[in-house]
């Protein structure tokens, strides 16, 4: 399948950014989008620091790339460890030009009423605070190199979060982090961008929507083209191409573009319809019965 063509949001870009020889740190690089991304960027000439909570997976990703790559084990929720990782990368390669905060998880399906507070905290700690822990200690290097930061949000940031609200909440907050960072870095010549994805064929998606009865029912509610899935490689290529344009925003698949542009209007109607939909109410009741 060909990669999606840039849409209106994809074209909100700055000057061309040649990544050849640039040092790139990617979290969540042991599998899925992150694993595909480090391969694409390495083939384009970048030096790679592949970071993952699974150190063995991070090292495998780096070993497969061969030269100009290293694998590092780190938990993005560990602030001190992430500061150490940034130091290790700059000590080894002498600089850091690009950071992609990609690590993330999905919650156990539950409503806000029935979820375990610890599940909420876990998702926010990884998906939001983990992004801050990755980006914050790197910013002096990014400013010094006039580099680029990508934070991975999701189209879930502007979709209703029934049964999985911690994920949507975290991704909406990451969007705001990325927007603030773009403005704050502008005076230094560095840039930041936000990556949004709909459904991506990853182990996380399969566990949430395909291997679970309620997940399949929720997936069936999605209308075309919002139900269209892309591969992890396509998602990674979208990020890589966005980096080369210093894009403020990238979004895939393309069916989410109108939703992203018109969400203020669409969400007003959609929230009301979902709240009144009998099938949605049945799913919510079924989710709550599980707890």
| Lowest-pLDDT range of 126-130, 192-196, 286-290 | 286-290
pLDDT band at 207 (very low <50, low <70, confident <90, very high): low
Render pLDDT for 256-278 as a digit per residue (tens, 0 to 9).
999 899 998 988 898 898 889 89
Whether the pLDDT of residue 188 is over 70: the answer is yes
Global confidence as pTM: 0.90
What's the mean pLDDT in 5-23?
70
As beta bridge partners, residue 58 has none
Label residue 160 by pLDDT band (50, 70, 90). confident
Cα–Cα–Cα angle for 280, 106, 178, nearest 5°?
105
* pLDDT tier at 3, thresholds 50, 70, 90: very low
- Residue 161 — pLDDT band, cuts 50, 70, 90? confident
Cα–Cα distance between 26 and 179 in angstroms, integer? 19
Mean pLDDT of 120-134: 98
Domain 14-289: CATH superfamily is NAD(P)-binding Rossmann-like Domain (3.40.50.720)
Catalytic annotation, residues: 167
Domain map (residue ranges) of the chain = 14-289
Which tens digit of pLDDT belongs to each residue from 228-245? 889 999 999 999 999 999
pLDDT recorded at residue 1: 43
Q: Bridge-partner residues for 183, per DSSP?
A: none
Res 29 pLDDT > 90 = yes
pLDDT digits (tens, 9 = 90+) for 67-94: 899 999 999 999 999 999 999 999 999 9
Which residues lie closer than 8 Å to 196 by C-beta, 6 or more apart?
153, 154, 155, 157, 175, 249, 250, 251, 252, 256, 260
Residues 150-155: what's their mean pLDDT?
96
> How many CB atoms sit inside 10 A of residue 106's CB?
19
CB 30 within 8 A of CB 58: yes
More confident residue, 70 or 2: 70
Total residue length of the chain:
291
Q: Mean pLDDT, the chain, as a whole number?
A: 90
Instruction: Enumerate residues 6+ apart whose C-beta is below 8 A from 189.
Output: 146
Residue 47: band (very low, low, confident or very high) from pLDDT cuts 50, 70, 90: very high
Alpha-carbon distance 268 to 158, whole Å? 11
Distance CA 197, CA 209 (A): 15
Mean pLDDT of 278-289: 87
* DSSP state string for 88-151: HHHHHHS---EEEE-----PPS--TTTS-HHHHHHHHIIIIIHHHHHHGGGHHHHHHHT-EEEE
Q: Which residue has the higher pLDDT, 254 or 87?
A: 87
Q: Residue 52's beta-bridge partner residues?
A: 73
pLDDT above 90 for 133: yes
**What does the pLDDT read at residue 225?**
63
249: closest CA among 150, 172, 159? 150
- Average pLDDT rounded to a whole number, residues 96-124: 94
**DSSP string for residues in 162-176:** TT-HHHHHHHHHHHH
């Amino acid at each position: 399948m060909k990669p999606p063509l840039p849409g209106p949001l994809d074209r909100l870009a700055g000057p061309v950014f040649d990544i050849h020889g640039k040092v790139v740190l990617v979290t969540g690089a042991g599998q899925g989008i992150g694993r595909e991304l480090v391969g694409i960027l390495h083939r384009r000439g970048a030096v790679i620091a592949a970071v993952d909570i699974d150190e063995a997976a991070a090292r495998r990703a780096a070993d497969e790339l061969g030269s100009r790559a290293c694998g590092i084990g780190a938990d993005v929720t560990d602030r001190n460890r992430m500061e150490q990782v940034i130091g290790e990368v700059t000590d080894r390669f002498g600089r850091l030009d690009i950071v992609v905060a990609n690590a993330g998880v999905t919650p156990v399906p539950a409503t806000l009423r029935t979820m375990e507070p610890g599940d909420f905290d876990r998702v926010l700690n990884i998906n939001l605070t983990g992004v801050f822990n990755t980006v914050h200690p790197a910013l002096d290097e990014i400013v010094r190199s006039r580099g680029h930061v990508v934070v991975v949000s999701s189209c879930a940031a502007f979709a209703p979060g029934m049964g999985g609200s911690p994920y949507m909440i975290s991704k909406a907050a990451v969007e705001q982090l990325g927007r603030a960072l773009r403005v704050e870095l502008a005076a230094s010549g560095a840039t930041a961008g936000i990556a949004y994805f709909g459904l991506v064929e990853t182990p996380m998606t399969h566990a949430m929507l395909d291997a679970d009865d309620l997940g399949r029912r929720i997936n069936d509610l999605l209308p075309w083209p919002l139900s269209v899935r892309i591969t992890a490689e396509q998602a990674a290529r979208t990020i890589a191409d966005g980096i080369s344009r210093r894009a403020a925003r990238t979004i895939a698949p393309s069916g989410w573009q109108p939703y992203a542009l018109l969400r203020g209007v669409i969400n007003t109607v959609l929230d009301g319809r979902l709240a009144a939909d009998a099938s949605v109410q049945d799913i919510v009741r079924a989710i709550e019965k599980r707890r």
